[in-house]
Structure 1
Amino acid sequence: MTTTANPSDYSAARARLLAEPGRGGAQRRAALARLADGWLTELFTTAGAPPGTALVAVGGFGRGELSPRSDLDVVLLHEGPIDGELPERIWYPVWDGGVALDHSVRTLSEARAVAAEDLKAQLGLLDARHIAGDPALTASLRSAVLADWRATATKRLPELHQLCLERAERHGELSFLLEPDLKEARGGLRDVVALNAIAATWLADAPRDGLDAAAARLSDVRDALHLTTGRATERLGLHDQDQVAAHLGVLDADTLLRQVYEAARTISYAGDVTWRAVERVLASRSNRGRRVSRLAFPFSGVGRGAGAVARGAVERRPLAEGVVEQDGEAVLAQGARPAQDPVLPLRAAAAAAQAGLTVSYATVRRLAAETKALPVPWPDEAREQLITLLGAGEACIPVWEALEAEGLITRLLPDWERVRCRPQRNAVHTWTVDRHLVETAVKAAAMTRRVARPDLLLVAALLHDLGKGWPGDHSEAGEVIVRDVAVRMGFDKTDTETLALLVRHHLTLVDTATRRDPDDPATVDLITKVVGTLPHLELLHALTEADATATGPAAWSSWRASLVDGLAARVAAQLAGGSSFPADADPTAEEERLAVEAARTGGPALSLLAQSHQDAFSTEPMGVELTLAVPDQPGLLGTVAGVLALHRLTVRMASLRELDPVGAGPVLLLSWTVAAEYGELPEAARLRADLRRALDGSLDVARKLAERDAAAPRRRGIATPPPVVTVAQGASSSATILEVRAHDAPGLLHRIGRALDAAGVRVRTAHVSTLGADAVDAFYVTDAAGRPLGAEHARDVATAVQTALG
């Protein structure tokens, strides 16, 4: 298509091009650029431009991409003095035609000097493209600018990243905004330009799968926005979305937004991966292979993996079975076999999040390509690893995004696809449905000390709005969905019913508190009938707050919080009276045999059994059952727990109780279920020998643990809610019950046992459980005479334990 230097001819030709049926997308953007090229070439020639000058397109125009209302961004390049009116003879016809023009007049040295001072100008020049005049001059400009960019990359890339962070702060995340800026928001078209600039340095490149398609989709939406509004706008306003969707042939505005969000997430994730790679390359260059502190380097806040490693020797530290930390990321151990270990994606994700890391890009790609689907129901470990991942709080988010970018989340939870990228057309909501669910789990992770079942709280938080992907009331639909999901995850019938109750009634508490009289006994009766038990009330109360605070600032206030808290307190008072701790089961024949042996010999009796818990994908033992019977002695709980910690065994469940099998005095029976942190399980004979040595005093467990901790390299971890130690008033008439809720860590039970021993109390019975990353323990303690502790004494003991846990 040709035109003349006459602005009206150009405008007419442009209008005909835009009206051509079937012409759209990248093809139309390229045609618009060619049309503008032809017009500017005629203007350049008509203006009488002398030799030694060139007209150069830069920015988006330089990339050969023009949206219907894009500016023409050009540089008039010259070698020596030129007629001062030459630029005006080119620019004025453009202005007369009503076309937006961004222009400059530069020599080669001036262009390089401006680029050196102005990063945005340098980015535009990286896309310089010849339009008219001396092509050698344009080629010299391109070569010089690229050479300068590569030579100064170590300085300019941190500056570019800072610009990206500031822009994201101003414009928000494109993936979640109801009225997003398609260009400036995080994940928008401006980020694609930044990624291309990074690639031009030759230091790193973005993952390219889906990136070009995502950029093209955002450009198509921007084109349609320009055509429907008649303005050069980048903001996809609510009132324009139906028209833009219709112009693109998309079903409706919600479908349009989902496509925009999906494209933005692809771009955002590519940016995270790329900036992470840049950080490592620059750190290795400036520190000779040693990593620099994130606080000293301007790439903090990215933390979302790539896959490259810094030059030189790289330290690999174990995180979990098959997972190690390398260069600030979680990667697969050399012996890991994803095809034979379907739990590995969740294990790697949980280990990374708990360590405050992310899973490397290469690792996520490999897991997505090689890992088989989880069996149904899930193995216990898979469920525990999901809970551990969610329990990491904020650190869960970048790991979750990495898994989702490669389709692993939908593979684990097929129902997730219906809510993924689903917009919420309510000003109260900050996030899309899927991100709101993750944010609710993040909020719930900070509330795990408030509930006896943090695992159910975290899973309910993640699943509570899954019904929004289905017709009808989302709470009712969600109840049906969560029953199916819970069974697939391997929850038993009781826990499945609890999750269904939480999802069905996740709005009931706040709705009732704000719409009914909380002082009316009928209001309290209503909630009492819904929850049924104090543990259910705890869970629903925490879920209500997590859901509301994750929704947005308008969804929760001190007034709403006070109403909900007040109603929950009244319901709790009505439900109070029963104990939430499990009753002791009758001892097994093996336990009775050990107790009799210990009572008769006066020494410890041990039974150590490795349980395979095998499924079709694994033949390795996944746990050890240890039973120990020993005549009562001070410090028994802490001593045994310390030996297990020395052998890097994590306590999953434990119980301690008194038996008197032959009337010769009390014998303490300890039943443990433990698992290796990583690597092989310890040899039974060695574990048995160390237990005997610890009990007879020849092995100083506390000193050994302190020495090991002092020698271990300090690893960055996540911030967790502080431990909570409380006295369960009135829950037992024969003992005082101390509840301990804390983040699980090596040696936790050892520290608790030592603190109780130092406080001079006897542990008569204990129930210990690890749920994901949280420990929820109950200790039935008495004084030396076997009596319950006085109220003040009990508070002092609780304070001492909490102090010991730090």
Structure 2
Amino acid sequence: MRRLTSTASSWCSPVSVISGTELRNAVLADRSVGGRALCRALSDATDEWLIGLFEAATAGIKGRFALVATGGYGRGELAPYSDLDVLLLHDSPKTVAQVAERLWYPIWDASKGADKIKLGHAVRTVKEAKELASDDLDTATSLLTARHLAGDAALTSDLLGIIASDWRSRRAHWLAVLAAGVASRHEEAGEAAFLLEPNLKESSGGLRDVHALHWAEAAGALIAPADRAALAQAEDTLLAVRVALHRTTGRAGDVLLLQEQETVAPEAGFRDSDVLMAAVSVAARRVVWIGDETWSRVNGLPPVASDHVLASGVFLRGGEVELEAAADPSQDATLMLRVARTAAESGARISRATLERLESSAAVLPAPWPTGAIDDLVGLLLSGHRAIPVFEALDHYDLLVRILPEWAPVRCKPQRNAYHRFTVDRHLWETAANAAALVHRVTRPDLLVLGALLHDIGKGYPGDHTDVGVDLVRVIGPRLGLIDDDVDVIVTMVRQHLLLPDVATRRDLSDDGTINAVAEAVGNDVTLDLLSALTEADSLATGPSAWGSWKRELVTLLVDRTHHVLGGGDFTQVNWRLFPTSEVLELMGEGTTAIRTTEDRVTVVAPDRPGLFSRVAGVLSLHGLDVLDAEAHSDDSVAGRQAMAANEFRLLPPKEGIKWDRVVDDLQRALDGQLAIESRLAERAKTYRRRKMLSATVSSPSVRIHNDASSNATVIEVRAPDKIGILHRITKSLGELGLDIRHAKVQTMGNEVVDTFYVRTADRLKVLDPFHLKEIERAILHAVS
């Protein structure tokens, strides 16, 4: 579209602009209307506005013109900040430019300021629109649900008739393109039912999936009436949430971020964010279930020569797991688990008819379970990620709670922190699937996958999830038919499932007290290996930031050293400490300042003085370097040389190149007392805007001090919201209280840091004085507040 002429600009009536804005604002101001009703009302108001603009734009101009609503606007699903997609149809090339200028200009004029409307516009003849739609999926689908707004209705009718006919006649082509597009989008946007921050439109189970199913149905794909009704109900929920998201944020957007869920919930008609996210999850699961069935039919089922028996009463037919006609779920309580196991092992879907039979008549498993039932559950879990769609199918028909009644409270339950990416139920399935790939590392694969499935089962209940989980497992285990010793192992797995990652990332692994405490907690090598595998499986299921090379290295180190102690080895007979190295000791012996840097490590050797550690930490923060781990060592003064100290910081490798010469220069200035660290950190905090990934309630800072966690140091654990320079401020407060930092572990979990410090007094003793301990807590809380 060429730029508007001054004539077109001067022609525009401000009345049409004002009335259009007023119409939209009047609809949006009525907070009693939301969801689909608001979309419809907003579409109607926009219709009224655009029809008036069109009539004014075409007045006195010869030719045939029609205004058509396309895309979401055509469906009548115009959200508060949706794009406004319209098509100007014509058969008058000589005069259409004048009409277009008169039509678009008032819309653009109304798009200024807070009421901005993003116009998606096109000007085409029927022939041009048909040709473009024949090759472009987006154009074709936007016209499938287009609506005539104004002008020559015959033009619109001709186009829409051609589009619908072409869509049906090229059914195979369009369905294949649709199916491929759905699969590709799912890979990129994840699953709305299980993500903590779903994309309401693009994620699997989102609104775009609903639209794709409508388009597929228009091409001839069959969707049962009951499924169509369920789809409409799910779409209503997703639309209501999307509308509320637009309203509360005041902008277009489809990703439901954690920090926005609390305000979106009441706007969308839900009690709180947990109820909101559960509703989104249920709706998305319903969409995915209907979609999976539809696309499997579209893609075609693999041909088979004959039925293939999978287990007693269960066979494979046409790529789906079926129950034999004579099989009676009401009399065979193990049949449901047998169906689930064979489906996972064969990688096949359970047929809808089979699921409906199980739903209507499957018997409840007695306690304890019959012989073979637990083997089927373990077999299902050992199938790895192929078990997840089977669990989803069972859950869709409310069958999973018949296997594990304790499952109900974790179903669709969000985890309100940025550290986790999945709902609790999906997290447990993912952990079990990951664990199935690690069974070669343990002597009891069955206990590994069972423990993985149950390790967070307590999160659906009030109270500490670990304590609750232990109590639940003591009930579940015997019901499954496990012997007491095996129940005790799974209880330990649930109770200690955070032990290894917490200790590895927050404690000094060269301290004998640390390793001895872990050995006492796990009890034996078998349980230690189970916990090691569970730690990896759990971390991988948690999210990308929960398992990396640094954490893997620390956990492996901890497990190896614990095995040494459990095997009867004497910890004190082995030199586990890796710092200071011989090179660092040599630098200390020279008695001068030395700074060494690599991509993931900074080592500073300098004359010992109060606050040395905090100065280095402050400079690293100024340069955007994140500390993972730190070691400190100091010696006594000797003849001709003052006491020296060495600090080594292990860093998260920076995403962008770091100019290390500037880092070194600032470190030297800081050591010389020539760098205003506090002032610079304050300036950086003002200009740096880290994305807030917050839970519904921000955790308050806390300080825990342990004098029994180490044999030769006081251990201080600090939890606080992540902020610029927080490590510098904490360590500065410790230095001001005369404490020597011997070792530090730094961990960031979403928006929170968990920092651990091993400190000693100037006399190299633990801090035992109660008053001194209280002042340490006071100083740290002040530093992080």
- Please give the alpha-carbon distance, in whole angstroms, between the structure 2 residues aligned to 1:4 and 1:371: 68
Which of 26, 29, 41 is the equivalent residue of 1:31? 41
Aligned to 2:721: none
Aligned to 2:126: 108
Aligned-pair identity in percent equals 46
Deviations 1:308-354 (A, max 9, x none): xxxxx863111111221122222222332233333222211100111
**Is 1:484 the counterpart of 2:504 in the alignment?**
no
Aligned to 1:746: none
- Please give the alpha-carbon distance, in whole angstroms, between the structure 2 residues aligned to 1:244 and 1:515: 36
**Is 1:264 the counterpart of 2:247 in the alignment?**
no
- The alpha carbon displacement at 1:463 in A equals 0.6
- Please give the alpha-carbon distance, in whole angstroms, between the structure 1 residues aligned to 2:470 and 2:230: 35
- Please give the alpha-carbon distance, in whole angstroms, between the structure 1 residues aligned to 2:364 and 2:229: 23
Secondary structure of the equivalent of 1:66?
coil
Note if contact 2:23-2:49 (Cα within 8 Å) is conserved in structure 1. no
User: Structure 1 residues 139, 379: CA separation in 2 closer, same or farther (over 3 Å shift)?
Assistant: farther
- Please give the alpha-carbon distance, in whole angstroms, between the structure 2 residues aligned to 1:261 and 1:353: 23
Aligned to 2:410: 419
Aligned-residue Cα RMSD (Å) equals 2.5
Aligned to 1:95: 108
Aligned to 1:212: 232
Aligned to 1:156: 174
- Please give the alpha-carbon distance, in whole angstroms, between the structure 2 residues aligned to 1:131 and 1:440: 53
Aligned to 2:253: 233
- The alpha carbon displacement at 1:101 in A equals 2.0
Secondary structure of the equivalent of 1:330?
strand
Deviations 1:269-300 (A, max 9, x none): 322222111111xx7xxxxxx74xxxxxxxxx
Note if contact 1:198-1:205 (Cα within 8 Å) is conserved in structure 2. no
Which of 348, 353, 362 is the equivalent residue of 2:353? 362
- The alpha carbon displacement at 1:386 in A equals 1.2
Matches within 5 A, 1:663-682: none
User: Structure 1 residues 528, 229: CA separation in 2 closer, same or farther (over 3 Å shift)?
Assistant: closer
- The alpha carbon displacement at 1:164 in A equals 2.3
Note if contact 1:182-1:189 (Cα within 8 Å) is conserved in structure 2. yes
- Please give the alpha-carbon distance, in whole angstroms, between the structure 2 residues aligned to 1:314 and 1:83: 64
- Please give the alpha-carbon distance, in whole angstroms, between the structure 2 residues aligned to 1:362 and 1:87: 55
Note if contact 1:419-1:433 (Cα within 8 Å) is conserved in structure 2. yes
Note if contact 2:54-2:150 (Cα within 8 Å) is conserved in structure 1. yes
Aligned to 1:181: 199
Q: Which moved more, 1:27-36 or 1:461-470?
A: 27-36
Report the AA paired with residue 488 of structure 1. Answer: R
**Is 1:337 the counterpart of 2:347 in the alignment?**
no
- The alpha carbon displacement at 1:186 in A equals 2.2
Aligned to 2:654: none
**Is 1:76 the counterpart of 2:88 in the alignment?**
yes
Secondary structure of the equivalent of 1:377?
coil
Residue ranges of structure 1 left out of the alignment (5+ in a row): 284-289, 292-312, 578-806
- Please give the alpha-carbon distance, in whole angstroms, between the structure 1 residues aligned to 2:388 and 2:559: 30
- Please give the alpha-carbon distance, in whole angstroms, between the structure 2 residues aligned to 1:422 and 1:59: 33
Report the AA paired with residue 313 of structure 2. Answer: G
Deviations 1:141-164 (A, max 9, x none): 222111111222222222222222
Aligned to 2:659: none
- The alpha carbon displacement at 1:80 in A equals 5.0
- The alpha carbon displacement at 1:413 in A equals 1.9
User: Structure 1 residues 520, 239: CA separation in 2 closer, same or farther (over 3 Å shift)?
Assistant: closer
Note if contact 2:314-2:322 (Cα within 8 Å) is conserved in structure 1. yes
**Is 1:166 the counterpart of 2:184 in the alignment?**
yes
User: Structure 1 residues 120, 392: CA separation in 2 closer, same or farther (over 3 Å shift)?
Assistant: same
Secondary structure of the equivalent of 1:210?
helix
- Please give the alpha-carbon distance, in whole angstroms, between the structure 1 residues aligned to 2:138 and 2:519: 62
Report the AA paired with residue 260 of structure 2. Answer: D
Report the AA paired with residue 500 of structure 2. Answer: L
Report the AA paired with residue 22 of structure 1. Answer: S
Aligned to 1:62: 74
Which of 379, 383, 400 is the equivalent residue of 1:388? 379
Matches within 5 A, 1:758-797: none
- The alpha carbon displacement at 1:79 in A equals 4.2
- Please give the alpha-carbon distance, in whole angstroms, between the structure 1 residues aligned to 2:45 and 2:557: 69
Which of 325, 349, 364 is the equivalent residue of 1:373? 364
- The alpha carbon displacement at 1:573 in A equals 4.3
Secondary structure of the equivalent of 1:338?
coil
User: Structure 1 residues 382, 32: CA separation in 2 closer, same or farther (over 3 Å shift)?
Assistant: same
- Please give the alpha-carbon distance, in whole angstroms, between the structure 1 residues aligned to 2:417 and 2:368: 36
Which of 473, 488, 500 is the equivalent residue of 1:497? 488
Report the AA paired with residue 89 of structure 1. Answer: R
- The alpha carbon displacement at 1:5 in A equals 6.9
Note if contact 2:374-2:481 (Cα within 8 Å) is conserved in structure 1. yes
- The alpha carbon displacement at 1:140 in A equals 2.6
User: Structure 1 residues 235, 449: CA separation in 2 closer, same or farther (over 3 Å shift)?
Assistant: closer
**Is 1:19 the counterpart of 2:29 in the alignment?**
yes
Matches within 5 A, 1:287-302: 291=303
Q: Please give the TM-score of this superposition, normalised by the length of structure 1.
A: 0.64
Note if contact 2:438-2:533 (Cα within 8 Å) is conserved in structure 1. yes
Which of 516, 521, 528 is the equivalent residue of 1:525? 516
Matches within 5 A, 1:685-764: none
Matches within 5 A, 1:389-788: 389-576=380-567
- The alpha carbon displacement at 1:519 in A equals 4.5
User: Structure 1 residues 454, 41: CA separation in 2 closer, same or farther (over 3 Å shift)?
Assistant: same
- The alpha carbon displacement at 1:173 in A equals 2.5
Residue ranges of structure 2 left out of the alignment (5+ in a row): 1-12, 112-116, 569-785
- The alpha carbon displacement at 1:127 in A equals 0.5
User: Structure 1 residues 136, 412: CA separation in 2 closer, same or farther (over 3 Å shift)?
Assistant: farther
Secondary structure of the equivalent of 2:330?
helix
Deviations 1:98-147 (A, max 9, x none): 23321222222221111012110001011011222233332332221111
Note if contact 2:201-2:208 (Cα within 8 Å) is conserved in structure 1. yes
User: Structure 1 residues 532, 179: CA separation in 2 closer, same or farther (over 3 Å shift)?
Assistant: closer
Aligned to 1:612: none
- The alpha carbon displacement at 1:21 in A equals 4.8
Note if contact 1:5-1:42 (Cα within 8 Å) is conserved in structure 2. no
Report the AA paired with residue 367 of structure 1. Answer: L
Aligned to 1:759: none
Note if contact 1:175-1:264 (Cα within 8 Å) is conserved in structure 2. yes
Secondary structure of the equivalent of 1:75?
strand
Q: Which moved more, 1:508-517 or 1:412-421?
A: 508-517
Note if contact 1:4-1:42 (Cα within 8 Å) is conserved in structure 2. no
Q: Please give the TM-score of this superposition, normalised by the length of structure 2.
A: 0.66
Note if contact 2:70-2:146 (Cα within 8 Å) is conserved in structure 1. yes
User: Structure 1 residues 81, 550: CA separation in 2 closer, same or farther (over 3 Å shift)?
Assistant: closer
- Please give the alpha-carbon distance, in whole angstroms, between the structure 2 residues aligned to 1:224 and 1:530: 48
Aligned to 1:130: 148
- The alpha carbon displacement at 1:481 in A equals 1.4
Note if contact 1:394-1:442 (Cα within 8 Å) is conserved in structure 2. yes
Report the AA paired with residue 110 of structure 2. Answer: G
User: Structure 1 residues 232, 516: CA separation in 2 closer, same or farther (over 3 Å shift)?
Assistant: closer
- The alpha carbon displacement at 1:215 in A equals 1.3
User: Structure 1 residues 79, 443: CA separation in 2 closer, same or farther (over 3 Å shift)?
Assistant: same
**Is 1:117 the counterpart of 2:135 in the alignment?**
yes
Note if contact 1:51-1:134 (Cα within 8 Å) is conserved in structure 2. no
